[in-house]
Structure 1
Amino acid sequence: MPRDGGPGAPGVDPQQLWLGSGRPRRGRKPTYSREAITEAAVALADAEGIEAVTMRKVAERAGAGVMSLYSYAPDKETLLHLMVDHVSGELPTTGALTGDWRADLKAIAHLQRTHMLRHRWLPAALSTRRVPGPNTLAFLEHALAALRPAGLDGTAKMEIFAQLTAFVAGHVGHEIAQAEASQSPDRAAAEARYLVAVATDGHHPELAEAISAPGRPVTPEATFTRFLNRLIDGLDTE
């Protein structure tokens, strides 16, 4: 019986998923399309988070019967693949590259951050292996083209792009969590008092020095840029 996903859910056949027609093979002409079902799932995730995406709730949002959804996505895992690739179509893939691969990679990372902040469920959805669909592959092609001037072999370029995407997803996930925590000023103040107390207890001199150092811009954009620069500028091309 089809399931919402999780342990034991059927594996995704990439050829069937991405190279098939995306519509039921038998029966009457379908009332819905795979794209419409995917759009309903994305809208639900954007509004309520990835945890809210169940086959039942997607069916309700799409105005379809639950069982009819299984003709387009047999389980939640397949649906997540469709969702990730669907929103990847929003990423630009035809922008001019400068030939400075580090600068181009940084620009790509900033695009990814903006994209993930628009769809805040994406970092969690990307935490497990996803088989790239056509939109994801188009963005990957763009990133690999940006890396061509680095003179790296294919494996290294793929690894760097995977590392970059993992960094952005992890950072955005942390950024979202921090933003949610900041909505509780009492909690933030309590954490600050705790760190000051620990730093002045005489047992954590490195922490005391770090806390007393001159501050840097702490806006989310500035923090992301600093971290990104350290990552990209430190990449070894040997």
Structure 2
Amino acid sequence: MNARQKPDAADAPLVWERPEPAPRPAPGPLSRDGIVRAAIALADAEGLASVSLRKVGASLGAGPMRLYGYMSTKEELLELMVDAVYGEMAAAGPLRGGWRDVLRAMAHRTRRAAHQHRWLTDLLGGRPHLGPNALAHLEASLAALSDSPGFGDIDAALLAAGTVNAYVLGALQSEASELRAEHASGMDQAAWQRSTGPYIERMIATGRFPTLARVVRDATHPPPDVVFDRGLDCVLDGIAARLTR
């Protein structure tokens, strides 16, 4: 490799293991953690689309080029933001109890974090997050499972943890979609249901949708917190039933 060539991205150290630049007293001290906290504050206030190295730098009184010493891309900044939120989740304290208790607690911690940081849902999923706090979160869930009877096979523990995570992510995406719909239409769910109610009644009156008629007539439509808990119970009950086979 000559002096003009850049190292291959696959060979470059990940941001988690990359040392920070030497401190500079002027125009103001920076740190990777301080940059991440500023980015989180910006995303909380204005949404994820507002996060850029330029805007984050401006909030810290620094140009974007100074930030490139702490992270190479915006994607690295987003990864650091996600890991910082995993750290906030861990700050709630150690997880105790059996595997059901631990997985339930982790599901609720993730949901609370996503409600506090509305942008988080868009960054969950996909490839595993590899920051130290995210790895600690995964370690805790797998440890709770692998120490329980029936999960001696690590593949079984991975499947159970992944199933719970998939449920949580799907529930969060559904809740986020509802919020986006409210913002776009200016109507909350109750107002939207009132506006579409006459149409639904006409469609049910055709007799083509008898099961949906039962939904309208008999379903209780509990609040989101109850829906989330009931769905989580279904997932955990399914895992427990699988252990008895």
How does the TM-score come out when normalised to structure 1? 0.83
Rounded to whole Å, the distance in 2 between the matches of 1:72 and 1:40 is 14
Q: Identify the residue that residue 187 of structure 1 maps to in structure 2.
A: 192
Distance 1:96 1:74, change over 3 A: closer
CA distance, structure 2, for counterparts of residue 55 and residue 234 of structure 1? 44
Letter in 1 for 2:87: G
Query: Offset at 1:105?
Result: 1.4
Deviation at 1:219, TM superposition (A): 1.4
**How far apart are residue 222 of structure 1 and its match?**
0.6
Alpha carbons of 1:14 and 1:92: their partners in 2 closer, same or farther (altered >3 Å)? farther
RCO greater where, 1 or 2, for CA within 8 Å and sep 6 or more?
A: 1
Q: What is aligned with 1:165?
A: 165
Could you tell me whether the CA contact under 8 Å between 1:14 and 1:131 is conserved in 2? no
SS at match of 2:118: coil
Amino acid at match of 1:97: R
Q: CA RMSD in A?
A: 2.4
For residue 131 of structure 1, give the secondary structure of its aligned residue in structure 2: coil
1:196 match: 201
- Given the superposition, is the C-alpha separation of residues 192 and 156 from structure 1 closer, same or farther in structure 2, using an over 3 Å criterion? farther
Asked if the contact 1:123/1:170 (under 8 Å) is kept, the reply is no
What residue number does 2:34 align with?
36
Alignment of 1:51-200 (within 5 A): 51-92=49-90, 94-99=93-98, 101-147=99-145, 148-152=147-151, 153-179=153-179, 181=181, 184=187, 186-200=191-205
Query: Distance in 2 between the 1:14 and 1:126 partners?
Result: 24
Q: Is the 8 A contact 2:89 2:109 kept in 1?
A: yes
Corresponding residue SS for 2:23: coil
Higher Rg of the two aligned structures = 2
Q: Do the aligned residues in 2 keep the contact of 1:199 with 1:207 (CA within 8 Å)?
A: yes
Task: Provide the rounded CA distance (Å) in 2 between the counterparts of 1:205 and 1:38.
Answer: 52
> Where does residue 3 of structure 2 map in the other structure?
none
Q: 1:86 to 1:11 in 2, by over 3 A?
A: farther
1:90-132 Cα distance to aligned partner (Å, 9 max, x none):
1137525222x22331122112111111111111011332432
Unmatched 5+ residue regions in structure 2? Answer: 1-7
Once the 2 structures are TM-superposed, how far is the Cα of residue 12 of structure 1 from its aligned partner? Answer: 7.7
SS of the equivalent of 1:202 reads: coil
Distance of aligned partners of 1:96 and 1:45 in 2 relative to their CA distance in 1, 3 Å threshold: closer
Could you give the per-residue CA deviations for residues 106-164 of structure 1, whole angstroms, max 9, x where no partner exists?
A: 12211211111111111101133243211111121221222121432223322332332
Query: Using a 3 Å threshold, how does the CA distance of structure 1 residues 39 and 190 change in structure 2: closer, same or farther?
Result: same
2:165 aligned partner, one-letter code: T
Residue identity matched to 1:156: A
| 1:20 shift after superposition | 2.6
SS of residue matched to 1:104 = helix
Q: Secondary structure at the match of 1:215?
A: coil
Report if the CA contact (8 A) 2:121-2:176 is conserved: no
Give unmatched runs, 5+ long, in structure 1: 1-9
TM-score normalised over the length of structure 2: 0.80
Q: 2:223 aligns with which of 219, 222, 232?
A: 219
